[in-house]
Chains A and B, each alone.
Chain A
Amino acid sequence: DAGVTQTPRHEVAEKGQTIILKCEPVSGHNDLFWYRQTKIQGLELLSYFRSKSLMEDGGAFKDRFKAEMLNSSFSTLKIQPTEPKDSAVYLCASTPGHLYEQYFGPGTRLTVL
């Protein structure tokens, strides 16, 4: 079975640009998560979808971050406009139903100049 795939693996953006990160969950998984990972803050939840419905929109990340799940096998995370503080690794994860057993993709490393 294919695991969670994320593209691109690396992204470099200028401040103020719009970037879109993509995620394909494991086939058959109903839940999908987007996280931001930094050394200082650790893992922060950005969005959580259950069967394509948005369950958690990440509170503090709402203003410039928007995640969408267009179908059960594809999700995007848009950051608009980007700021240097958005430089981080963005991880996507999915699970067939157990919140505590998540399968992670390899991540996208975003650098904002």
Chain B
Amino acid sequence: GEQVEQRPPHLSVREGDSAIIICTYTDSATAYFSWYKQEAGAGLQLLMSVLSNVDRKEEQGLTVLLNKKDKRLSLNLTAAHPGDSAVYFCAVSLHDSGYNKLTFGKGTVLLVSP
């Protein structure tokens, strides 16, 4: 089945710096990609999602890049601030519905210090 590796497991940056999180996946037919944020004591919050026909998507200080050749998905927080401190998860799936499921990365703990 699909395997997702997420790195780094922990990331510390200063306020205003970039923070980059990378996921690699194994199945070249994977078609749906998402990033989630989890703050302490809360559930996961959807940040952005892209389909396989998109290479780059930017929204509100976040950039998602998809490199299908290398089977790599990345999330870039371009100017991190302390409120971005949380755990970030990537998630991928082959199909959008049916007998299918999201495969999640193990998460990246991001700490943004002032």
- Cβ of B96 and Cβ of A91 under 8 Å apart? no
B98 near A102 with CB under 8 A, answer no
A101 touches B101 (CB 8 A): no
Q: Are B43 and A55 in contact, with the CB atoms below 8 A?
A: no
Which stretch from A13-21, A65-73, A74-82, A92-100 is at the chain B interface? A92-100
- Interface readout for B77-111 with A: 1 if CB under 8 Å, 0 if not? 00000000000010111011111111011110000
The A interface, classified by DSSP as helix, strand, loop or mixed, is: strand
Is A55 in contact with B32, judged by CB distance below 8 angstroms? no
* Interface presence of B46 (CB below 8 A): yes
Asked if A107 is an interface residue, CB under 8 A from chain B, the answer is yes
Please tell me if the beta carbons of A99 and B32 are within 8 angstroms of each other in the complex.
Answer: yes
Q: List 5 A-B contacts (CB under 8 A).
A: A6-B43, A93-B44, A98-B97, A102-B46, A105-B43
The interface of chain A, by Cβ under 8 A from chain B, is 4, 6, 31, 42-43, 45, 48, 50, 55-56, 91, 93, 97-107
